[in-house]
């Protein structure tokens, strides 16, 4: 039995000083599952991580965790200190895009390409390729969660061993993340009456669906003005202020103005009056859209907030849940809190933070899941969990999401941004049959990503790695 040391930028919540709690993100979940595999092989995992505040030491989930204060401009130096303090063979679980001096004989993990932000300067992207080359030169093997990093290495770097980059997609426990049991919302004597009303509403919906969808291309009459060039522009809103505060060129481009025939924000009053009969989405309970992600820029929170503005204004029987971690005091966190607090439909916006073990409840209460990533994505845990629960998923065609979703078969893939996202959500809100069909195939797809496959593949990699490391480090099996 020996110690295996995992080095990462995040595991327990070093963002909010809750050092004894595992942060609710995909990387952190991955590290937790990897510790379980290491323990299953008879070894003791330990985690070394960065801390946004002071250094710390804690124990959680039966894992010793060491936090290191660091200079944000010198991440490689912090990783050097972590490697020096490690008690066993080292696994670099993040930050391979940094110019790290790797401890010889170590293993690395890439959780997805995070330098795919379109506005990132070309020279930085070129530097990242150089840093990835350092990882290929310095690590015995790199495990990738999606095919895109593997392709990047082949296209932008050189390495002799074709097996050096191993593809092990992220996974989901399909025996736990199961479709929700049928909901019974009516007494038996009401069901026939409801069914007849639903069929009538569905027929009406089909008659009006084309008109409602075309409403996305009709100019709004409230809160817009003509700029003198025939262009209709929206008045400043809370989300506009958020986007300006975040100062992202991409966001400014999406927020600056809308083309003449584009539905805008909550400015739908006149069209709501015309289409109300066609857009009641459920006679029994509100239809719920779930955003099961961290509330952060790269995870697409701004496009999601903009889409929520438009959807909540257009569909009175709709609610949106944001089920993800939020870093209190951050610009994004403060902006989201303000947006939620002042929103005209705040009563239909839900924000909760779930533990890993409780998040299934959110999927079971939802009808549609949204993964609107803007950049930096692997094979998303949230996407896999939603699919395993039989939910139709609308996802951006970013990173490893392309490995999971086949557009129109088991979900909908859209370009990152608000316009395409909103249109896809409108499509699913209005089409119950398509939601159900996509959800069925989503569940079937998820079964091939069951965590049992992931554990078996990782066990094979670790057994080989630890056998070699054990000889070099004197660890006894």
Q: What does the pLDDT look like over 121-162, one tens digit per residue?
A: 999 999 999 999 999 999 999 999 999 999 999 999 999 999
What's the confidence (pLDDT) of residue 327? 83
Q: How confident is the model at residue 183 (pLDDT cuts 50, 70, 90)?
A: low
Model-level pTM greater than 0.85?
no
Mean pLDDT in the chain? Answer: 83
SS (H, E, C) the chain: CCEEEEEECCCEECCCCEEEEECCCHHHHHHHHHHHHHHHCCCEEEEEEEECCCCEEEEECCEEEEEEECCCCCHHHHHHHHHHHCCCCEEECCCCCCCCCCCCCEEEEECCECCCCCCCCHHHHHHHHHHHHHHHHHEEEEEECCHHHHHHHHHHCCCCCCCCEEECCCCECCCCCCCCCCCCCCCHHHHHHHHHHHHHHHHHHHHHHHHHHHHHHCCCCCCEEECCCCCEEECCCHHHHHHHHHCCHHHHHHHHCCCCCCCCCCCCHHHHHHHHHHCCCCCCCCEEEEECCCCCCCCCHHHHHHHHHHHHHHCCCEEEEEECCCCCCCHHHHHHHHHHHHCCCHHHEEEECCCCCCHHHHHHCCCEEEECCCCCECCCHHHHHHHHCCCCEEEECCCCHHHHCCECCCEEEECCCHHHHHHHHHHHHHCHHHHHHHHHHHHHHHHCCEHHHHHHHHHHHHHHHHHHHHHHHCCCC
Query: What's the whole-number mean pLDDT along residues 363-391?
Result: 96
Percent share of the chain, pLDDT over 90: 68
- Among 98-112, 271-285, 318-332, 441-455, which stretch is predicted with the lowest mean pLDDT? 271-285
For residues 357-363, give the mean pLDDT. 92
User: Which pLDDT tens digit goes with each residue over 55-83?
Assistant: 999 999 999 999 999 998 899 999 999 99
What's residue 209's pLDDT? 40
pLDDT at 280 over 90: no
């Amino acid at each position: 039995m020996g110690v295996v040391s995992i080095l990462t930028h995040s595991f327990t919540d070093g963002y909010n000083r809750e050092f004894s709690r595992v942060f609710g993100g995909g990387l952190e979940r991955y590290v937790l599952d990897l510790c379980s595999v290491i323990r299953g092989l008879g070894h003791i995992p330990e985690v070394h991580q960065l801390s946004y505040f002071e250094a710390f030491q804690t124990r959680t989930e039966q894992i010793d965790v060491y936090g290191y204060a660091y200079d944000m401009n010198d991440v490689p130096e912090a990783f050097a200190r972590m490697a020096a303090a490690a008690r066993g063979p080292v696994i670099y679980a993040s930050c391979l895009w940094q110019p790290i001096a790797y401890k010889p004989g170590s293993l690395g993990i890439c959780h997805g390409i995070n330098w795919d932000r379109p506005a990132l300067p070309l020279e930085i992207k070129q530097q990242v390729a150089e840093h990835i080359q350092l990882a290929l030169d310095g690590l015995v093997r790199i495990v990738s969660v999606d095919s895109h990093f593997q392709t990047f290495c082949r296209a932008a770097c050189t390495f002799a061993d074709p097996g050096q980059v191993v593809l092990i997609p992220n996974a989901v426990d399909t025996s736990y993340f199961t479709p929700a049991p049928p909901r019974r919302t009516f007494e038996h004597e009401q069901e026939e009456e409801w069914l007849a009303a639903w069929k009538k509403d569905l027929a009406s919906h089909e008659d009006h669906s084309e008109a409602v969808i075309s409403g996305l291309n009709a100019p709004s009459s409230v809160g817009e003005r003509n700029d003198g060039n025939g262009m209709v522009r929206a008045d400043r809103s809370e989300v506009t202020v958020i986007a300006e505060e975040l100062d992202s060129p991409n966001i400014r481009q999406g927020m600056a103005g809308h083309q003449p025939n584009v539905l805008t924000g909550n400015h739908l009053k006149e069209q709501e009056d015309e289409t109300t009969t066609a857009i009641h989405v459920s006679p029994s309970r509100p239809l719920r859209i779930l955003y099961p992600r961290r509330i952060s820029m790269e995870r697409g929170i701004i496009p999601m907030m903009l889409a929520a503005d438009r959807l909540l204004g257009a569909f009175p029987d709709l609610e949106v849940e944001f089920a993800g971690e939020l870093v209190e005091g951050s610009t994004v966190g403060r902006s989201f809190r303000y947006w939620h607090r002042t929103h005209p439909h705040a009563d239909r916006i839900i924000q909760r933070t779930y533990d890993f073990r409780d998040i299934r409840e959110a999927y079971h209460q939802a009808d549609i899941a949204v993964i609107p990533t803007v950049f930096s994505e692997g094979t998303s845990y949230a996407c896999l969990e939603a699919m395993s629960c039989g939910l139709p998923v609308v996802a951006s065609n970013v990173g490893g999401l392309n490995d999971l979703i086949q557009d129109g078969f088991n979900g909908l893939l859209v370009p990152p941004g608000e316009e395409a996202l909103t249109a896809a959500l409108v499509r699913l809100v209005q089409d119950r049959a398509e939601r159900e069909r996509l959800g069925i195939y989503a569940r079937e797809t998820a079964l091939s990503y069951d965590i049992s496959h992931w554990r078996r593949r990782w066990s094979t990699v670790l057994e080989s790695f630890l056998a070699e490391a054990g000889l070099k480090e004197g660890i006894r099996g």
